[in-house]
């Protein structure tokens, strides 16, 4: 062993400070890194065998896992404009969004609908930054993935090199996985993202710790990928019909579990080693994320073979 000079010692100290900082900032992010990694890897592992093989190689799965937490890095302090634009993509406060009735299918129609709703509810925080854009981001990522997969099919037919497209597809699927993963965490679908507010007859925590406690500290310390794997395998892969509608149902189901998340926190199910019901709850939520992601990726692959819709006729003057 060589002795360490002042430079190495300084470097080691700096590295520890950086790692400590990364650890702290990740507390505030969606599912901790462990949860996001699990969701992406399990989705990839459980894709049916008729998807292109590169998605399921060890390198493909490693990359899928690697990209899982990436969108959280886009909403840090270092890139303020990107953070401002992209932060609403990680959540949707369904209790508020549902005031719109049926959600518009397109992002900008939704933004306009919220603005118009604000005029009739001046007392509620209804800006797009406060209500969130989760399902729009997810479906737009699905469509990016489907587009790349369509290009991949074309290159294969032409017997051209597909390597750059393979990298693009794995990247897009990995980023998609982040948002789908966020959607399985109940507090990402709610007006109570991190502490109860307003009337509180059941005495749920109003402190700002439940979010990171559940998704980062508890999952990181108590839930392993093998615990979740069997739940994902138990659900057969399927091709989704209307991806937007399916994804909204997935978010609405997640939203029905908001109060249960608070109840479990209250009884100590996520504290330290937690309780079996807390562990089961976390495993089911992680599995739900992996299942939805697997099915969306699979649907993108199957639907990427569809012929493009016919061009609309130009408007007559």
**Between residues 90 and 279, which has the closer beta carbon with respect to Zn ion?**
90
In whole angstroms, give the CA distance from residue 89 to residue 60.
25
Closest to Zn ion by CB, 162 or 184: 184
- The yes or no reply on residue 180 touching Zn ion (CB under 5 A) is no
User: Which CB, 92 or 269, lies closer to Zn ion?
Assistant: 92
Interacting positions 77-106 with Zn ion (CB under 5 A): 90
Please tell me whether residue 146 binds Zn ion under the rule CB under 5 A.
no
Q: Does 187 bind Zn ion (CB under 5 A)?
A: no
The stretch near Zn ion (CB under 5 A) out of 40-48, 167-175, 181-189, 242-250 is 181-189
Note whether 292 binds Zn ion by CB under 5 A: no
The distance of closest approach from Cβ of residue 69 to Zn ion in the complex, given in angstroms and rounded to an integer, is 8
Nearer to Zn ion, 188 or 294 (CB): 188
Look up residue 223 and give its two tokens. Answer: 């839930």
Enumerate the H helices of 132-242 as residue ranges. 134-157, 163-184, 210-212, 219-222, 225-233
Selection from 235, 254, 236, 234 nearest residue 246 by Cα: 254
Number of residues near Zn ion (by CB under 5 A): 3
State in angstroms the smallest separation of the CB of 215 from Zn ion: 10
CB-closest chain residue to Zn ion: 30
Q: Which is nearer to Zn ion, 41 or 90 (CB)?
A: 90
Smallest gap from Cβ 181 to Zn ion, in A, equals: 7
Q: How many angstroms separate the CA atoms of 279 and 270, rounded?
A: 8
The answer to whether 45 and 38 are in contact (CB under 8 A) is: no
Please, what's the b/e burial string for 245-265 (b: 16 or more CB within 10 A of its CB; e: otherwise)? ebbbebbeebbebbeebbebb
Closer residue to Zn ion (CB): 80 or 268: 80
Question: Is the CB of 117 or the CB of 128 nearer to Zn ion?
Answer: 128
Phi, psi of 278 (to 5 degrees): -70, -40
Residue 42 · residue 228 · CB < 8 Å: yes
Q: Interface with Zn ion includes 36 (CB under 5 A)? A: no
Buried b (16+ CB within 10 A) or exposed e, 274-306: bbeebbebbbebbbbbbbbbbbbbbbbbbbbee
Q: Nearest approach, Cβ of 283 to Zn ion (angstroms)?
A: 20
Pick from 34, 182, 215, 265 the residue near Zn ion by CB under 5 A: 182
* Positions in 1-30 near Zn ion (CB under 5 A): 30
How far is residue 79's CA from residue 96's CA, in Å, rounded to a whole number?
28
166 binds Zn ion (CB under 5 A): no
Q: What residue has token string 């509810």?
A: 121
31 to each of 89, 172, 177, 244, 265, how far by Cα in Å?
14, 19, 12, 22, 16
CB of 17 to Zn ion, least distance (A): 25
> Counting contacts by CB under 5 A, is residue 34 touching Zn ion?
no
Which one, 215 or 265, has the nearer CB to Zn ion?
215
Please give the residue ranges that form the binding site for Zn ion (CB under 5 A).
Answer: 30, 90, 182
């Amino acid at each position: 062993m060589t002795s360490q000079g002042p430079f190495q010692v300084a470097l080691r100290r700096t590295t520890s400070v950086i790692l400590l900082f990364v650890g702290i900032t990740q507390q505030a992010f969606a599912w901790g890194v462990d949860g996001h990694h699990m969701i992406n890897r399990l989705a990839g592992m459980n894709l049916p065998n008729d998807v292109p093989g590169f998605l399921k190689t060890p390198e493909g799965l490693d990359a899928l896992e690697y990209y899982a937490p990436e969108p959280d890095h886009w909403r840090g302090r270092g890139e303020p404009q990107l953070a401002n634009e992209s932060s609403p993509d990680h959540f949707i406060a369904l209790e508020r969004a549902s005031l719109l009735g049926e959600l518009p299918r397109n992002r900008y129609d939704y933004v306009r609908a919220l603005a118009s709703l604000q005029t009739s509810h001046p007392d509620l925080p209804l800006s797009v930054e406060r209500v969130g854009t989760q399902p729009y981001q997810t479906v737009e990522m699905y469509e990016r993935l489907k587009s790349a997969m369509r290009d991949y099919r074309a290159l294969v037919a032409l017997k051209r090199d597909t390597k750059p497209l393979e990298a693009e597809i794995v990247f897009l699927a990995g980023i998609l996985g982040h948002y789908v993963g966020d959607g399985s965490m109940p507090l990402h679908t709610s007006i109570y993202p991190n502490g109860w507010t307003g009337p509180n007859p059941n005495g749920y925590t109003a402190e700002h710790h439940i979010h990171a406690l559940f998704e980062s500290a508890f999952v990181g310390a108590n839930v392993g990928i093998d615990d979740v794997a069997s739940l994902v395998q138990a659900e057969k892969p399927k091709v989704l019909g209307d991806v937007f509608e399916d994804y909204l149902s997935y978010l609405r189901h997640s939203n029905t579990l908001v109060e249960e998340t608070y109840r479990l926190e209250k009884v100590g199910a996520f504290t330290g080693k937690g309780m079996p019901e807390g562990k089961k709850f976390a495993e089911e939520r992680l599995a739900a994320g992996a299942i939805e992601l697997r099915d969306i990726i699979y649907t993108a692959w199957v639907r990427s073979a569809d012929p493009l819709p016919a061009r609309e006729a130009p408007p007559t003057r």
